[in-house]
Amino acid sequence: MNQGFWSKLKKPIIGLSPMDGVTDAAFRFIGAKYGKSHVHITEFTSAEGLAAGAVKLLDDFIYSDIERPVVAQIFGSDAEAFYKAGALVAALGFDGLDINMGCPARNVAEHGGGAALIRTPKLAQELIRAAKKGVKAWADGATLEDVGVHQAIIAQITDHKIYKSQTRNEIPVSVKTRIGYDAVVIEDWVKYLLEEEPAVISIHGRTLKQLYSGSADWDAIARAAQIIHETSTLAIGNGDAKDIGDAKAKIAAYGVDGVLIGRASFGNPWIFTDSAPSHDEKLRVAIEHARVFEELLPRKNFLHMRKHLCWYMSGFDGAKELRAALMQPSVKNAADVERIIGDWQRSAAPDLRLQESFATLIG
């Protein structure tokens, strides 16, 4: 079994959970700079879309070295596409490849991907094998042309800042899944996955049917972890971890090797350090986040940044008003964000020394 970097991580492993529409390159950069989780995983990206030459999807694979170890996550249901994606991810210099077998979104499940794979375990196994085959092909010297990666993708990455690979490593392949589709079947399901020897199996403690409602079933995760630990595969839990203390408590109570923190990281990159930022620091980092978003994702509409700004604006007097100001249609770039926050800070802190202090922070 190839565990790659996973075997070198200090336990317990506490990482950033991949979340569609959230964990883009800017979010992960800020998280790595101010929190530094043990591992960062990208938003999931369509293997079939990449195989068809959808170059815009490459934005999902932009990353910074500060994030390492950084893992690319893919989804889909076509083995040939997974083969090509495996080689592509390895060529882009990622430290690992993760397969999403847990997304509950209807448009993903209806096409056989995400958590729908729980109902088709033989196909799930085929996808793991295909991804591993693609990774190995790259490690053994195949070119992306040899593997059949779309020419539009090859042309785009050749001159793109995401093309970083200098070595041909056989990176580890992992799986992120759920405890079931419409009922808890994790004990049987995880045995199918283990036959393909993934480096890690991360388990979200809800079924597809639950979406994100109710509470994560950590007892089910614990039962799966016992089965996983009969092999060399690592077991990581996911769901409802409120902070790093809660994550460590879950690791101790349920016998997993680590925890991925998801929604609790929204607007809170400091969560992995278990520290509480000052209000001024939250505002300063919100501005920095907006700047990084523009730098790393220039083709992405700034509208995607707004939810992140909302998440930062909490826990202090006037946060509601500031949040409302930042949600105005006129806010279209980082400069607007800096101006609004600066104006708000000056009106909220008339003392000149506080104004000067804040100006230093954002300067």
- Mind listing the pLDDT tens digit for each residue in 40-59? 999 999 999 999 999 999 99
Contact partners, residue 237, CB within 8 Å, separation at least 6: 202, 203, 205, 218, 221, 225, 250, 251, 254, 256, 258, 259, 260
Confidence of residue 361 (pLDDT cuts 50, 70, 90): low
Q: Per-residue pLDDT for 4 more than 80?
A: yes
Tell me how many degrees the CA angle 271-306-338 measures, rounded to the nearest 5.
85
Q: Per-residue pLDDT for 162 more than 60?
A: no
Domain shared by 68 and 132, yes or no: yes
Domain shared by 45 and 105, yes or no: yes
User: Looking at 159-173, 184-198, 343-357, which range is the least confident one?
Assistant: 343-357
* Proportion of the chain above pLDDT 70, given as a percent: 94
Q: Per-residue pLDDT for 357 more than 60?
A: no
Contact partners, residue 55, CB within 8 Å, separation at least 6: 152, 153, 156
What are the pLDDT digits (tens) for 271-288?
999 788 888 899 999 999
Domain shared by 259 and 284, yes or no: no
**189-212 mean pLDDT:** 95
What are the pLDDT digits (tens) for 226-263?
999 999 999 999 999 999 999 999 999 999 999 999 99
Domain shared by 208 and 299, yes or no: no
Distances (CA, A) of 245 to 69, 241, 260, 274: 22, 9, 13, 8
Q: What is the mean pLDDT of the chain?
A: 92
Last residue of a domain, one of 272, 302, 333: 272
Q: Per-residue pLDDT for 351 more than 50?
A: no
Last residue of a domain, one of 232, 255, 272: 272
Domain shared by 85 and 184, yes or no: yes
pLDDT for residue 111: 93
User: What pTM was computed for the model?
Assistant: 0.92
Select from 21, 36, 72 the least CA-distant residue to 307. Answer: 21
pLDDT for residue 134: 98
Domain shared by 266 and 283, yes or no: no
Q: Per-residue pLDDT for 66 more than 50?
A: yes
- What phi, psi does 208 have (nearest 5°)? -60, -40
Confidence of residue 352 (pLDDT cuts 50, 70, 90): very low
d(CA 16, CA 19) in angstroms, rounded, equals: 9
pLDDT for residue 90: 95
What are the pLDDT digits (tens) for 79-126?
999 999 999 999 999 999 999 999 998 899 999 999 999 999 999 999
Assign residue 239 the CATH number of its domain. Answer: 3.20.20.70
**168-184 mean pLDDT:** 95
Cis link prior to 69 (omega < 30° from 0)? yes
Domain shared by 23 and 69, yes or no: yes
Q: How many domains does the chain have?
A: 2
Domain shared by 158 and 249, yes or no: yes
Last residue of a domain, one of 272, 305, 324: 272
Q: Per-residue pLDDT for 363 more than 80?
A: no
* Placement of tokens 């990455």 in the chain: 157
* Proportion of the chain above pLDDT 90, given as a percent: 81
Domain that holds residue 342: 277-362
pLDDT for residue 356: 46
Domain shared by 286 and 328, yes or no: yes
Domain shared by 207 and 345, yes or no: no
pLDDT for residue 163: 57
Confidence of residue 350 (pLDDT cuts 50, 70, 90): low
